[in-house]
Structure 1
Amino acid sequence: MSSVVRLIRADNLAETPYAYAATAPAGSRLIFLAGACPLNDDGSTAAPGDYAAQAARCVETLKGALDVAGADLTDVISTRVLVASTSQADLVTAWDVIHAAFGAHDVPSTLLGVTVLGYDDQLVEIEAIAAVADG
C-alpha cells in the first residue's frame, strides 16, 4: 500500500536533508505517537551513554508503535527528535541514525537539544505523527 503522505520540497530555501513540509489528503487518519524511547523489553534504558545506539533503539520502538497503529515509517508526516545534550555533535550523531532509517522518506523534522529526558540514562526520544488512508 502506498503512503498518503506527500513531502513538499522548497527549492527557494536552503538545501536540507529533509522536506520542508508534508501534507496528507482530506479524509486521512492521523496517528499521534507517544515519544519513542530507547527502552529494552524489560523497561530498562538501552545503551546508556551511546547516542547512536539509543537512536537506533528509538527507531525500532517507533516502528513497533507504527505497526500496531497500522502504519510504517513511510506514513510518518513529521518528527521531533529530542537529544539530551548541549553538544551539536551528539545531536548530529542521533540524527544521522534516524535520518538513515527513514531513507528516501525524509520527513519534516525538528532536532532539539534538551536538558534531560524522562528515563534514567535516556539520551534520545523521537516524537512522530503519521497519516494513513482512512478505512
Structure 2
Amino acid sequence: MDTFDRELISNGNPMEAVVGFSRAVRVGPFISIGGTAPVAPDGSTVGVGDVQAQTIRCIEIIKEALEQAGSGLHDVVRTRVILTNIDNWKPAIEARKLYFREIRPVDAIMAVSRFVNPEWLVELEADAVISGWGDHSAA
C-alpha cells in the first residue's frame, strides 16, 4: 500500500498557526482547500457588497493554493459555494463558470447564517486530484 507525505500549504495567514488550519493540504495526488474568503493580501475584504467580485477573489486564492501544491484549477473535482444569502447564487455561479465551465467539477451551493467577517458574502471550498499522478509518482 502506498503512503503519501502530507504537505501543508500556507498563504501566510497568521491565524493558521494560532487556530491550527492550513489554506490547503496535499496528500499524494489529493488536495483539499478549506473555506476561502474574499480577502486581499492586506487582509481587507475584496468586493464589499458584490457577490460576483468576492467569488472571483475566492477562486483566485484557490488557484494560487493549487499552484503552490503543484496543481491548478484544471485538477479541481469538487467545489462548494457557501453564501450568506441563497438568493445570491446566480452572481456566484456566473463567477464560478468563468473558471470551471470546461472543467465541470461537481458542485454544491449552500447558505449559512453568517461568516466570521460580516462583509463576506461568499466562501468557496475545493478539492482536486492531480491528473496523471500514476504516471508521475515522483511529482
Look up the equivalent residue of 2:114 and give its one-letter code: V
Residue in 1 aligned with 2:116? 118
Give me the identity figure in percent: 32
Residue in 1 aligned with 2:100? 102
CA distance in 2, matches of 1:110, 1:99: 13
1:27-46 aligned at under 5 Å gives the runs: 29-46=29-46
Q: Secondary structure at the match of 2:58?
A: helix
Contact 2:81 2:109 in 1 (8 A): yes
Deviation at 1:102, TM superposition (A): 1.4
Deviation digits for residues 18-65 of structure 1 (CA, Å, limit 9, x no counterpart): xxxxxxxxxx61111122211011111111111011011111111111
Deviation digits for residues 91-120 of structure 1 (CA, Å, limit 9, x no counterpart): 111111112211300100001122112224
Q: Which runs of 5+ in 2 are unaligned?
A: 1-27
Over the aligned positions, Cα root-mean-square deviation in angstroms equals 1.4
Q: Secondary structure at the match of 1:79?
A: strand
Contact 1:95 1:111 in 2 (8 A): no
RCO comparison, higher one (Cα < 8 Å, 6+): 1
1:1-135 aligned at under 5 Å gives the runs: 29-87=29-87, 90-132=88-130, 133=133, 134-135=137-138
Deviation digits for residues 51-85 of structure 1 (CA, Å, limit 9, x no counterpart): 01101111111111111111111101111110111
Q: Secondary structure at the match of 2:29?
A: strand
Contact 2:86 2:110 in 1 (8 A): no
Paired residues, what number?
106
